[in-house]
Chain A
Amino acid sequence: MDFASNLFSTGTLSQILVGLSRTTILFIVSSGMSLILGVLRIPNVAHGSLYMIGAFAAWSVIQFLGGGLFAFLAAMIVAPLIVAAVGFVLERGFFSYLYEREHLMLLLLTFSFALILGDLVKIVWGPEYRSITVPAFFQGSAEIFGLPLPWYNLFLLLIGPCIAVFLWLVINKTKLGKIARAAAVDGEMVGAVGINVGWIFAFTFVLGSFLAGLGGALIAPMVNISLGMDHSLIIESFLIVIIGGLGNMWGTLLGSLIFGLTQSLGILVWPQFGIAFPYLAVVAVLVVRPRGLLSSTW
């Protein structure tokens, strides 16, 4: 296997560009996880299921509206809202009663919801693959440095930074964000000054769920929508959040970039075990900085 010639071919750049659009999805989903982990201190294993529901719901919305650009854009908004509603039910219905418990219990509770939601998706949508075709508006490619990049990937590349800026504004510049950060550090104190911490947690969980659903809806046209798409994603999200630094939005962005790029380049270098490269990057980062690349903002 000639690693060098693989790496420096013309395919590399387009692989990087395509890898970057997947990175966007990883970032959107992981930022939701990071948010929930940062404020509620739950590594939400059900996050992958929410992402999967986002993809399936997007498919259903498009079927319901009969396709076309409008149906597609509507699906990208409605599907995440459906997922956010599921998140609201989970948080208010179950998690809110258990915040006093050991964190292990909360993690296992999220796992039990991952199991339940996984089977509910199977019941509602059946075990078959689904796929969404990109509407005519997004078909075709743009030329970037003489290389073709599909318009849809370009669209994703634009959305990623928008979400990052939006989240940064919400967390750092709004009152709600400031309260959420305070609640993460000392919920009791925030409660004592008369703020309803429960609703802050609910809002955070709903926003995190929305992001998971958005990621699922956005990736739906690029992959087979299938049962089991939640499984690998949850591990990738975990790693991204870990190397970024807990709750740090820019850290999550950086983590997604490292993870996504080592993944797409790894596949070029060594197709069979390219999957190992992001993990090696993660281990390398953690040996140097055990608490993640950027400092935790909380």
Chain B
Amino acid sequence: MRRSAAPLLLFLLLATLLALPHVLPRFHTYVAAIVLLTALLATSLNLAIGYTGLYQFGHAVFYGVGAYGTALVLTRSGMPAPVAFLVGPLAAAVLSLLMGLICIRLSKLYFGMLQISLGSLVWAVVYRWYSFTGGDDGIHGIPIPDAIASPKGSYYFTLTVTALCVFAMYRIVRSPFGKVIQGIRDNPVRAAAIGVDVKLHQLAALVIAGFFGGVAGSLFVVVENSVFPDMMFWTFSLEVLIMCLLGGMYTFFGPFVGASVIVLLRVFASVHTQYWGLILGTILTLVIIFLPDGVLGVFVRRSPAKEDPGA
């Protein structure tokens, strides 16, 4: 992609996104909102995995905790909605920090395996804690403020928040902090040698990724009016990872593209077949074999430094 073309493309994209609810039917507007918030989720994961090089395999749990935090405040407490939209993401950020503290000392693969496992512990607790989380039924009919309750309203809310968050993350990866975490990804030993506190930066990246993942979860509450435990199941974590991979992990907008493709395919497939796993698995296999840098990676090539095995 040539640099001069980028602002124009971005402008066209935003204009299209703003116009969508006026041309699309109701259901498609809803799908578009889901695409946007899933893209936010995938972008937040990519901050940890693509930019920091941490194998964040349990990311859906932050999405889920963000959603449950918001949903619980909205249904159980008399507190105003803005509080609910803060509580969700903050809870996700705190959980991200706690899980990070437990896992950060482990090497890459161990880190990932433990993240996925601790995430599934959170899933199991949510799944069974009927009196608090509604257990496997989830929580339904969550009261959403009138201004953003309509399909159009929730779409524009999602679009605004997603755009702001994606912009914020874009600034973060371009900031000196962003350069440091990319340096850590490419060579942690060298980064440490020049005086970078590697663990601290990794933890910070995890918290940021968890926070924005939580924001995506809060948006899900607005769009869906319900939450259920499966949104934080570990298979969904890996599905989000596939979105990053499909779009291109080492590009900023890759996860956005990947999330759009996967969500739309999933909606399409759910109408025609019950074998979504077969479809997703086949796509993933083909991408890994033929497009390891993802769709956008074809245009913006940036292969990471080769890793030492098991490190």
Interface residues of A (CB under 8 A from B): 37, 41, 43, 45, 94, 97-98, 101-105, 107-109, 111-116, 118-120, 122-123, 231-232, 235, 238-239, 241-242, 246, 272-273, 275-276, 279, 282-283, 286-287, 290-291
Q: Tell me the minimal C-beta distance from B63 to chain A in angstroms.
A: 18
Which 6 interchain pairs have the tightest Cβ spacing? A115-B281, A116-B281, A112-B284, A115-B277, A119-B278, A112-B281
Total A-B pairs, Cβ < 8 A: 121
A224 to B21, CA, bound (A): 47
B113 adjacent to chain A (CB < 8 Å): yes
Contact B310 A102 (CB under 8 A): no
**Are B238 and A45 in contact, CB atoms less than 8 angstroms apart?**
yes
Q: How far is the CA of A290 from the CA of B282 in the complex (A)?
A: 36
Nearest CB of chain B from residue A256's CB, rounded to whole Å: 15
Contact present for B288 and A112 (CB under 8 Å)? yes
Q: Shortest Cβ distance from A238 into chain B, in angstroms?
A: 4
B131 to nearest A CB, angstroms? 9
With A116-B277, A118-B277 as contacts: A103 and B310 at CB distance below 8 Å: yes
Rounded to whole Å, the gap between the CB of A106 and the closest CB of chain B is 9
Asked if B199 CB lies within 8 Å of chain A CBs, one says no
Is B114 interfacial (CB 8 A cutoff)?
yes
Given contacts A112-B282, A119-B281, A282-B117, contact A104 B55 (CB under 8 A): yes
Interface size on B, residues (CB 8 A): 45
Contact of B102 among A37, A115, A116, A287 (CB under 8 A): A287
Within the assembled complex, what's the spacing in Å between the Cα atoms of A120 and B277?
Answer: 9
Would you mind naming 12 contact pairs between A and B with Cβ atoms under 8 Å apart? A97-B289, A102-B304, A104-B49, A111-B281, A115-B278, A115-B281, A116-B281, A116-B285, A235-B116, A272-B128, A286-B106, A291-B106
B108 touches A115 (CB 8 A): no
> Do A242 and B275 form a contact, CB below 8 Å, given A103-B307, A112-B280, A115-B281?
no
Contacts A98-B289, A112-B285 supplied; 5 other A-B pairs, CB < 8 Å? A43-B112, A103-B310, A108-B241, A231-B233, A272-B129
